[in-house]
Amino acid sequence: MTAIWRMGFLGCVLGLTGLLLAFGTTVATANPAHPSCTGTSIVSQLEADYPEVYANLEREARAIPNGEGLLWRITAPDGKTSYLFGTIHLSELSVPEISPTVLDLVLQSQLVVTEIPDIANETIVAEQSVLQMGNLFLGNGKTLKDFMSPQAYGNLERLMTEMGLPPFALIGFRPFVVTALISIPSCELPGMLESAGGMNNTVDVRIASAAEAAGIPTGGLESFAEQMEAITSIPLAEGISMLETLVLHEDQIEDFAATLVALYDAERMDQMLALERIEMPFAPLADIPAGFEKSMIVDRNRRMAERSLPHLSKGGAFIAVGALHLPGKEGLVALFREYGFEVERVLLQ
């Protein structure tokens, strides 16, 4: 299964759990304790048991521009500096610490910019989620059952039940919404459901909260409506295919989450992107859907880059967005260089 879109789900769940809560979904609380994060990094498995496959992975990864590194210094032509940081939309349960280097730069900045504004304000996130809710339904009296195979839909019903969610609560949503929810690691879900906005103190939220506590202004590069538009722009056929692949191979969810966290800690987003390019000895892989890549990655990268320009020109900005928006020929690092800025990696270790 393609690593990009599987990981993309984890990078696009902001506000979606809040949507479900606002819709009135009741989550079972039979076990109020947070389960431990489980799963094994796929890359670690390859390195230990399939050295030739791992070597292929490394070759593909090294060919991806700007694939290593989470923190980048951006220097404008007049010498003013800002910083770009790749986040992960998971909480302290999966990512317990943020680099002191990053937090120091946040507190030294004049403006902190995240993907969406007011990200640390659960009330605003929940309110905006409610306003966008109507865009997330299939409409026309259609449900997921109308589009999914009987086996895949049966698996979906079982997964929903195991999560404490009655299947009917999600049956009318667009497939991406359901896929995003199911892709959340089991250790993350309880905390997200306890949070009014579904944010669960993610890295993004912690950065924005630190800035606000220090009296530093914050802002966003996209509106809630634009993020929802990106989701609704994914072709329905692709969304159904992605959802069916996920529910038919749900045993891999924890491993993919563990892979993301491990590679994030190692600052190796290039390996995450390279996973889809190699032939794997296990876990079914599929090509990244073109519509998903355009809507959720390419178009958003360009938009975020363009809206960052005024902040970068002024200097003193700290821009924090999902790490998968940074690497590649169409990633933010490359785009900022296109716009005439000098971009250099800053080591965190």
pLDDT tens per residue across span 231-270? 788 889 988 988 998 888 877 778 888 888 899 999 999 9
Domain boundaries of the chain, sorted by first residue: 3-23+37-345
Helices (H), 31-149: 42-49, 51-62, 100-108, 122-132
pLDDT of residue 192: 60
Measure CA of the first residue to CA of the last residue in the chain; give whole Å: 31
Signed CA dihedral, 292, 293, 294, 295: sign only? positive
For the stretch 259-305, pLDDT in tens is 888 999 999 999 988 987 888 887 655 456 677 778 788 899 999 99
Q: What is the mean pLDDT of the chain?
A: 83
Please say if the pLDDT value at position 181 is more than 90: no
User: Identity (one letter) of the amino acid at 195?
Assistant: S
pLDDT at 22 over 90: no
200-209: pLDDT as tens digits: 678 999 999 9
* Residue 160 burial (C-beta neighbours within 10 Å; 0-12, 13-18, 19+): buried
For the chain, what percentages of helix, strand and coil (3-state, to nearest 5) are there? 55, 10, 35
DSSP string, 131-193: HHGGGGB--TT--GGGTS-HHHHHHHHHHHHHTT--GGGTTTB-HHHHHHHHTS-TTTHHHHH
In which residue are the tokens 């919404």 written? 177
Per-position DSSP letters for 233-246, written without gaps between them: TS-HHHHHHHHHHH
pLDDT confidence bin for 40, thresholds 50/70/90: confident
Q: Are 300 and 230 in contact (CB under 8 A)?
A: yes
pLDDT tens, residue by residue, 58-83 = 999 999 999 999 999 999 999 999 99
Rounded CA separation 122/117 (Å): 11
The reported pLDDT for the residue numbered 78 is 97
